Structure 1
Amino acid sequence: MKVLLTGGAGYIGSHAATVLIEAGLDAAGESFDAPLDYYANNVEGAIGVPRAMAPAGIRTLVFSSSASVYGHHRYIPLDDGHPTEPVNPYARSKLHVEEMLWVLANSGPGWRIACLRYFNAAGAHPSGIIGENPRGAPNNPISRIARTALGELPHLNIFGNDYRTADGTAVRDYIHVMDLAGGHLAALNYLMEHTGWHAVNLGTDKGYSVMELIGTFERARGVSVPRQVVTRRAGDVAACHADVEKAATEFGWRATRTMEEICRSVWRFQKKRRVPPSVDPRPGRFETEKAVAGYFDYFPLLQCRKSVPDPASTTKKTVVVHVGTSKTGSTSLQTFFHNNREALRVRGVAYPSDGAYYHGNGHHVLARVIKGKEYLYHWIDPEDPAYSEERCIRQIRRHILDNPCPVALLSAEEFWHPMVPPLLGAVFDGLDVRCRIIAYVRRQDQWLLSDFNQRVKTLGYHGGGFEDFVREEMSNPNSFYRHYPVLSGFARVFGKQNVTVRVFERSALGGGALFQDFLSLLGQTMGPDLAIPESENTSIPWELIYLIQQFNSYSGLGVGERLALNRQLRQLTSRMDFHDLDPLSPELRREILSHYRADNALVAREFLGREDGRLFTCPENRDSEVSGASTGPHPVPASVPGADPVREAHSPDRTWRQPPPVSLDKLAKIAVYLWRANEVDGQPGTP
């Protein structure tokens, strides 16, 4: 699908452009003082676009409206059916366009129009590159708070503290701009199947007062914000927030980011905005960069571009990036690389690994740093200078250049994200290296099964059963289970000829076959100098998974206690006879494969050259694939020795049936085991 995005260089439009690109789409990218400017921009422009669309046979349009069309509210929360009574020229211009589009939608069949009524957009892109940066003072109070904290404004003006609210200051609904951008993608997906005119609120269903904003920001950043109370502004209301039920039920969309995340992202953007890089990026370096106006302007990662000299040798090195798709043996591969790094170095393959810089055995910190520090917040101090962009990028560049090996290998699950390709490209910009991307993809029904198993084991999922998990992921327009958005991003940045796509299934690439397959892509073979590691992140029976999930939902245990309990429960796999049920019904399996079929067909055609569009070649009731051909300079065998490309996922003892509850007899045995496992000095403990 191709999307014309008007206003793509603006605050909301630039964020919408990144979301559209991440989804694999091709995107080309004050009212009382100047009322005629608002009418010219909003009304005249909105007339021109549909006028050009109609002759071209294009009848799908998403219009950026505003919650200001409601005017003085008669009740809150404001639902989509609230009367529209705009009180300023900006709001009137938006309502005029909505009415015009309503008439257009009813003028003939086939029109698909969504009017998105924004509440208060706030926040910035997680990379810190894009955000609200008006020429004058920002209208957004959170941006004003950040600029005041940075000393750019002497103090924050609070317009009135005598409203009938809890603390006397005005209450508004603030939505993260990335959630807002996701709402556009959800609207497009909805319009693919529905005609007519639709007006929908995009908000959070929660209001924050000005004083609550200040308090949240101060706590999140550890700074003090000077402020003063001034008189109210004309037309301001005491409180306002959205009813977003229609967006949830029709679009399958809800805002997910918190006020703390909004404050952190604004602070990050405002700090980066103040420090231009020492070396400007070359214009037009990447195709992706052209699609998002200003996306690479003042890119902080490029400050370190010339800090490390290019190698004296004229021989170009190769950087191989293993995009470790979740649940495709990535952890095992990283352990293999890490444990055999000396043997690989002798073979001419360097695997940089530097303790804290690379969490575990992969390059996860590198991936998270280039995406933006908010990806690190849950496990490190975000202000730790060791995780600064410049230091981390400088380190990896030095490892690549100083090592005599002609090949450097990087690996991380965190690279599997649509925003990574251009950012990773910038890391290598200025180095005389050639980049190759290797990605293993997995059929989504098996991927979802394995991922659910993993999330329950590690307390990452507290929702309902497996089917609820599947529904949640399939309704998410930004779900990372879609292969094409990520792979097409790497192709745009590094060239499709440098992207190698391999199909992963356990029956074909289990055991040592995966390591042999990856080595073949490097022109290497297995040998006695390379040790195969023990299995990592092994699956456990589904009957036990359901039991662990019940313990996860028990509020009487802390996270540490639940993790310890889960480890003990997993040890029961070898001690007790648990049934390895298949939680995936045939109907749900077909629904999953149908949902992702179009995306998989794009990958098959563009990356594997399969004109029939079949990415996974085995029958849909099987869990096995022959590892098909791939793009890239190295020939790849059609199959791996020892693989069984026709083994069924559903063996006779693993046919699908509704999972029964764990028997009381088995629960009693589990209780006794845990009781004994928690003995202290010979005395039984309490599990």
Structure 2
Amino acid sequence: MSPPSTVLVTGGAGFIGSHACVVLLDHGYEVIVVDDYSNSTPQVLTRVERIAGRFVGAVYQLDVRDRRALSAVFDRHAVDAVMHFAAYKAVGTSTRMPVEYYDANVGGTTALLMTMHEHGVYQLVFSSSCAIYGEAGPGPLPETTPARPTNPYAASKWLCEQILADVCRRCPEYTVLNLRHCNPAGAHPSGLLGEDPRGTPENLMRCVAQVADGRQHRLRVYGNDYPTPDGTAIRDYLHVMDTVEAHRVALDHLADGPGMHVYNLGVGRGSSVLDVVAAFSAVSGRPVPYELAPRRPGDVAALVADTSAVARDWGWRPTRGLTDSCRDTWRFQQLNPNGYAGSARRPGSKR
């Protein structure tokens, strides 16, 4: 089986998806994007093309749950493989809107699978999450760790994984590479791409950046009574460029054999909330004041991935650390103080 040349990217204007598009274009792939812009903006793809120096093959505004609209995309393009990023992803919001999360994440995945099957497309790279491990322990956690999701977001990803596994058992023509990534962080080093969610951000790194930039008064630290060295929650923060490069490498391994193959993506060590605050303050040269708040429902004390399997099988390892994630997030914040709503500043320009 030859490597795919045309890749459909769902959620291609989102945080991870947009960075994936840059890497795919850089490696010569034809990229087709679908996105409903519910948590993104079309302007992102203009920046993707600016960075890559190539045009995205085609862009469609649609919800992946709309099978008729999605099917029309497959009718127009000879898609070889799909990278599926389109999903709701905020843990805290998922506890308040569980039905919406199951509808979007599980419903979107089943609609995509049915459409792929109708068009004879059987290669999928699925962007999952180490959040499915839940309260499994401090880690590092291998892929064999039983899933114990503690919130609807994580549970929705786990349900998608079970559906994909069932499809692969029933239909031997499918190859699914299921990538459970840890917390994506950072931004493109150019400062043109980063995380810019609509509404109030829930991602820690984005919140810290806004506090350092003076756009929020202080950071709310949810819980300081966890069984961790400083009492705050520990996570494995993986630079978004490492995240998407691993997804790109996955395309080379779709030919390794049919079925579903599961890999963790992470750096293999954790950082607490206060570790992130200290690292970001050091990079930005700005204080990051914070206030303590009660734990959020659905959060766990620690979540760190064992990534030895992907290193062994693919030779993939992350090349960036927490300092890199803080530095690139800060650059994006400085160049885009209002997110994608305003024009990016030139590097070195003043506020």
TM range (shorter): 0.7 to 0.9
Q: Separation in 1 of the partners of 2:162 and 2:223?
A: 34
Deviations 1:29-70 (A, max 9, x none): 211221121112111111122212223322100111111111
Larger relative contact order, structure 1 or 2 (CA cutoff 8 Å, min sep 6): 2
| C-alpha contact (below 8 Å) 2:95/2:297 kept by paired residues | no
**1:112-131 matched pairs, under 5 angstroms:** 112-131=175-194
Which among 213, 230, 234 is matched to residue 150 of structure 1? 213
Deviations 1:471-515 (A, max 9, x none): xxxxxxxxxxxxxxxxxxxxxxxxxxxxxxxxxxxxxxxxxxxxx
Answering whether residue 16 of structure 2 is matched by residue 12 of structure 1, we say yes
Q: Which residue number in structure 1 is paired with residue 90 of structure 2? A: none
What amino acid maps onto 2:8 in structure 1? L
Answering whether residue 115 of structure 2 is matched by residue 52 of structure 1, we say yes
Q: Separation in 1 of the partners of 2:349 and 2:29?
A: 29
| C-alpha contact (below 8 Å) 2:134/2:150 kept by paired residues | yes
Which among 243, 259, 271 is matched to residue 306 of structure 2? 243
Q: Separation in 2 of the partners of 1:48 and 1:31?
A: 21
Q: Separation in 1 of the partners of 2:228 and 2:148?
A: 23
Q: Residue 74 of structure 1: CA displacement?
A: 4.1
Q: Separation in 1 of the partners of 2:349 and 2:217?
A: 30
Q: Report SS of the residue matched to 2:190.
A: coil
Q: Separation in 2 of the partners of 1:113 and 1:101?
A: 7
| C-alpha contact (below 8 Å) 2:191/2:331 kept by paired residues | yes
What amino acid maps onto 2:220 in structure 1? N
Q: Which segments of 5 or more consecutive residues in structure 1 lack a partner in the other structure?
A: 277-293, 302-372, 374-387, 391-687
Answering whether residue 212 of structure 2 is matched by residue 212 of structure 1, we say no
| C-alpha contact (below 8 Å) 1:201/1:242 kept by paired residues | yes
Q: Which residue number in structure 1 is paired with residue 106 of structure 2? A: 43
Q: Which residue number in structure 2 is paired with residue 184 of structure 1? A: 247
| Percent identity (aligned) | 41
Q: Which residue number in structure 2 is paired with residue 25 of structure 1? A: 29
Answering whether residue 345 of structure 2 is matched by residue 300 of structure 1, we say yes
Deviations 1:58-86 (A, max 9, x none): 21001111111112114611110000121
Q: Separation in 2 of the partners of 1:238 and 1:47?
A: 32
Q: Residue 268 of structure 1: CA displacement?
A: 0.8
Which among 101, 116, 119 is matched to residue 164 of structure 2? 101
What amino acid maps onto 2:192 in structure 1? I
Q: Separation in 1 of the partners of 2:287 and 2:138?
A: 35
Q: Separation in 1 of the partners of 2:205 and 2:229?
A: 20
Q: Residue 91 of structure 1: CA displacement?
A: 1.4
What amino acid maps onto 2:18 in structure 1? S
Q: Which residue number in structure 2 is paired with residue 68 of structure 1? A: 131
Q: Separation in 1 of the partners of 2:158 and 2:301?
A: 22
| C-alpha contact (below 8 Å) 2:181/2:266 kept by paired residues | yes
Answering whether residue 269 of structure 2 is matched by residue 224 of structure 1, we say no
**1:607-686 matched pairs, under 5 angstroms:** none
TM-score, normalised to structure 1, is: 0.40
| C-alpha contact (below 8 Å) 2:336/2:345 kept by paired residues | no
Return the structure number with greater strand share: 2
| C-alpha contact (below 8 Å) 1:158/1:229 kept by paired residues | yes
Q: Report SS of the residue matched to 1:236.
A: coil
Which among 144, 147, 158 is matched to residue 84 of structure 1? 147
Q: Report SS of the residue matched to 2:180.
A: strand
What amino acid maps onto 1:27 in structure 2? V
What amino acid maps onto 1:107 in structure 2? R
Q: Report SS of the residue matched to 2:292.
A: strand
Q: Which residue number in structure 2 is paired with residue 590 of structure 1? A: none
Q: Which structure has the larger Rg over C-alpha atoms? A: 1
Q: Which residue number in structure 2 is paired with residue 135 of structure 1? A: 198
What amino acid maps onto 2:108 in structure 1? G
Aligned residues: 287
Distance change in 2, residues 1:105/1:86 (3 Å): same
Q: Residue 275 of structure 1: CA displacement?
A: 6.3
Q: Which residue number in structure 2 is paired with residue 167 of structure 1? A: 230
What amino acid maps onto 1:14 in structure 2? S
TM-score, normalised to structure 2, is: 0.77
Q: Separation in 2 of the partners of 1:231 and 1:75?
A: 21
Q: Residue 234 of structure 1: CA displacement?
A: 2.7
RMSD of equivalent CA atoms: 2.0
| C-alpha contact (below 8 Å) 1:190/1:250 kept by paired residues | no
Q: Which residue number in structure 1 is paired with residue 52 of structure 2? A: none
Q: Report SS of the residue matched to 1:28.
A: strand
What amino acid maps onto 1:22 in structure 2? D
Q: Separation in 2 of the partners of 1:27 and 1:82?
A: 34
Q: Report SS of the residue matched to 2:177.
A: strand
Q: Which residue number in structure 2 is paired with residue 2 of structure 1? A: 6
What amino acid maps onto 1:300 in structure 2? R
